Amino acid sequence: MAERGKLGIVVGGGPAPGINGVISSVTIEAINQGLEVIGIRDGFKHLVNGDLTQVRTLTIPDVAPFYQKGGSLLGTSRTNPTKDPQHMANVLEGLRRLGIQYLVTIGGDDTAFSGSQVYQHARGEIRVAHVPKTIDNDLPLPPGIPTFGFETARHYGAQLARNLHEDAKTTNRWYIVVSMGRAAGHLALGIGKASAATVTIIAEEFQNRTVTLELICDIIIGSMIKRKAQGKGYGLAVLAEGLMESIGEERLKEILSQNPGKFGNIEVDAFGHLRLGEIEFGRLVRTFLADRLKALGLKFDMIDKDLGYELRCADPIPFDAEYTRNLGYGAVKFLLSPQAERHGVVITFVGGSMVPRPFEEMIDPATRKMRPRLVDIHSETYEVARRYMIRLEKSDFDDPARLEKLAAVVKMTPSQFTERFGYLVH
């Protein structure tokens, strides 16, 4: 019998490198503090149905070998327990029947909201600490503090992108790479910048501007023309998948309905999010690119490639292995502190110290999500990224010699070229 009660662990949302590191460190510290640890499989999926068979008692020998392994030894799911009041009631009753007094939730903003609702409805019976996880790095942690999993995903994503860039150079072709990142372009920009991609396009750069598929294609075409003017017919374009949401569900539905089965289907998950993985965005962009290039009398060999699923269950690099140990330890330390009686929190670390952030500070009550952390396009970090991209810039149109050279690639006069592509830089 545990001396101080039982602690439950729930993993929600998509996989991210380091989940097992959190599970391991939470389990070890909790047991060392006299708690019994209950691992709940597949997020809230079974609890919402009142099924208490999908749980297991975790021991230190159970979790220690997984500390530096990818994936999740407890699985995960996107089941939303807040969608139906009865589901939340089932979750609370299940946790009570299991004897759980402390709960660690691991996940993104949806799982954070689910954890906050468990805390709120349990009315002090269950203490809750949420460990923020996403390879998208889009949760509102303190400046400069990444979400766990991001650094590993960027590391392996950049390696893959470098390989594709070398293949592009060797075979004289273009790769159109789509990176995960629904709400923010951190991962796409991190991969593109670290791999010296030719051009990276993220949704944040289009502030107060309507995003269309045609606009995205023209930016890439501008890069292609500029490379061609340099005597190079190859390149690597990295796109953030969140561009799909910027284009909009209605426009995507229109495109998919006109091309049934060709680019995937419109589907939403339990939280109402467009399932971006069901749409072959890279193939869609490549197809539209080919048509627009043909109209200009240009042809490039192109291949589209999605990056994301290859990154989510990778073994964590040392940064995330260390980081998740801090987070797991911090979650247990908070739950056993007097603060846990007053509020549920999101666990963060700043300057080497744990800073528990109350749910009410982190979650927008209107959207029931954490406020997304976007790429700051006015920062020097983004400025550096843009300076090393090869894409049409205002200076290309201001310099007559440079403009004439670009226009010659598509057999246009400088004025015709400006009329066709000048809108990209204004």
> How do residues 112-153 score in pLDDT, each as one tens digit?
999 999 999 999 899 999 999 999 999 999 888 999 999 999
Least confident of 25-34, 174-183, 194-203: 174-183
Rg of the chain, C-alpha, whole Å: 24
Look at the chain and report how many structural domains it folds into: 3
Least confident of 186-200, 209-223, 262-276, 300-314: 262-276
Tell me, yes or no, if 136 is annotated catalytic. yes
Average pLDDT rounded to a whole number, residues 284-299: 95
3-state SS of the chain is CCCCCEEEEEEECCCCCCHHHHHHHHHHHHHHCCCEEEEECCCCCCHHHCCCCCEEEECHHHHHHHCCCCCCCCCCECCCCCCCHHHHHHHHHHHHHHCEEEEEEEECHHHHHHHHHHHHHHCCCCEEEEEEECCCCCCCCCCCCCCECHHHHHHHHHHHHHHHHHHHHHHCCEEEEEECCCCCCHHHHHHHHHCCCCEEECHHHCCCCCCCHHHHHHHHHHHHHHHHHCCCCCEEEEEECCHHHHHCHHHHHHHHHHCCCCCECCCECCCCCECHHHECHHHHHHHHHHHHHHHCCCCCCEEEEEECHHHHCCCCCHHHHHHHHHHHHHHHHHHCCHHHHCCCEEEEEECCEEEEEEHHHHEECCCCEECCCCCCCCCHHHHHHHHCCCCCCHHHHHCHHHHHHHHHHCCCCHHHHHHHHHHHHC
Average pLDDT rounded to a whole number, residues 295-299: 95
Q: Any idea which residue has 């007053």 for tokens? A: 342
The pLDDT of residue 419 is above 50: yes
> How do residues 314-371 score in pLDDT, each as one tens digit?
999 999 999 999 999 999 999 999 999 999 999 999 989 999 999 999 988 888 888 8
303: in domain: yes
385: in domain: no
The pLDDT of residue 207 is 87
> Which residues have CB under 8 Å from 16's CB, separation 6+?
133, 134, 135, 147, 148, 149, 150, 153, 312
390: in domain: no
> How do residues 58-72 score in pLDDT, each as one tens digit?
999 999 999 999 999
Q: Which two tokens stand for residue 21?
A: 């590191």
The pLDDT of residue 156 is above 80: yes
Q: Report how far residue 420's alpha carbon sits from residue 415's, in angstroms, rounded to the nearest whole number.
A: 9
Choose the catalytic residue: 42, 136, 320, 396: 136
The pLDDT of residue 94 is above 60: yes
- Picking from 71, 62, 79, the residue whose alpha carbon sits closest to that of residue 26 is 62
Residue 276 banded pLDDT, cuts 50, 70, 90? low
Answer yes or no: is 244 a known binding residue: no
Percentage with pLDDT > 70 across the chain = 97
Answer yes or no: is 43 a known binding residue: no
Residue 199 banded pLDDT, cuts 50, 70, 90? very high
**Residue 382 burial (CB count, 10 A):** 18
Are 130 and 65 contained in the same domain?
A: yes
Are 124 and 215 contained in the same domain?
A: no
Are 407 and 331 contained in the same domain?
A: no
Residue 269 banded pLDDT, cuts 50, 70, 90? low
The pLDDT of residue 227 is above 70: yes
Contact (CB, 8 A) for 268 and 275: yes
Domain ranges, residue 102 = 6-148+316-370
Are 283 and 304 contained in the same domain?
A: yes
Are 163 and 277 contained in the same domain?
A: yes
Least confident of 98-112, 273-287, 412-426: 273-287
Answer yes or no: is 182 a known binding residue: yes
- Picking from 421, 1, 5, the residue whose alpha carbon sits closest to that of residue 214 is 421
Are 120 and 98 contained in the same domain?
A: yes
382: in domain: no
Contact (CB, 8 A) for 152 and 319: yes
Answer yes or no: is 88 a known binding residue: no
Are 327 and 298 contained in the same domain?
A: no
Contact (CB, 8 A) for 312 and 16: yes
Looking at every residue in the chain, the average pLDDT score rounds to 93
The pLDDT of residue 251 is 85
The pLDDT of residue 245 is 87
Domain boundary among 261, 287, 310: 310
378: in domain: no
Answer yes or no: is 8 a known binding residue: no
Are 185 and 272 contained in the same domain?
A: yes
Are 218 and 241 contained in the same domain?
A: yes
CA dihedral over 213, 218, 221, 223, signed as positive or negative: negative
At 364, which amino acid appears?
Answer: D
The pLDDT of residue 1 is above 60: no
> Which residues have CB under 8 Å from 239's CB, separation 6+?
176, 177, 178, 179, 188, 200, 201, 216, 281, 282, 285
CATH number at residue 192: 3.40.50.460
Answer yes or no: is 134 a known binding residue: yes
pTM here is 0.92
The pLDDT of residue 273 is 60
Q: Report how far residue 249's alpha carbon sits from residue 267's, in angstroms, rounded to the nearest whole number.
A: 10
Domain boundary among 261, 291, 310: 310
Answer yes or no: is 180 a known binding residue: yes
Q: Report how far residue 358's alpha carbon sits from residue 332's, in angstroms, rounded to the nearest whole number.
A: 15
The pLDDT of residue 262 is above 50: yes
267: in domain: yes
Answer yes or no: is 315 a known binding residue: no
Average pLDDT rounded to a whole number, residues 207-216: 92
274: in domain: yes
168: in domain: yes
The pLDDT of residue 275 is above 80: no
- Picking from 404, 382, 386, the residue whose alpha carbon sits closest to that of residue 219 is 386
Are 198 and 322 contained in the same domain?
A: no
Are 414 and 288 contained in the same domain?
A: no
Answer yes or no: is 162 a known binding residue: no
Are 172 and 290 contained in the same domain?
A: yes
Q: Which two tokens stand for residue 258?
A: 């006109």
Phi and psi angles of residue 199, each rounded to the nearest 5 degrees, phi first: -150, 140
CATH number at residue 95: 3.40.50.450
Paired residues of 9 in beta bridges: 39, 104
At 1, which amino acid appears?
Answer: M
Domain boundary among 264, 287, 310: 310
Answer yes or no: is 135 a known binding residue: yes
Residue 109 banded pLDDT, cuts 50, 70, 90? confident
At 325, which amino acid appears?
Answer: R
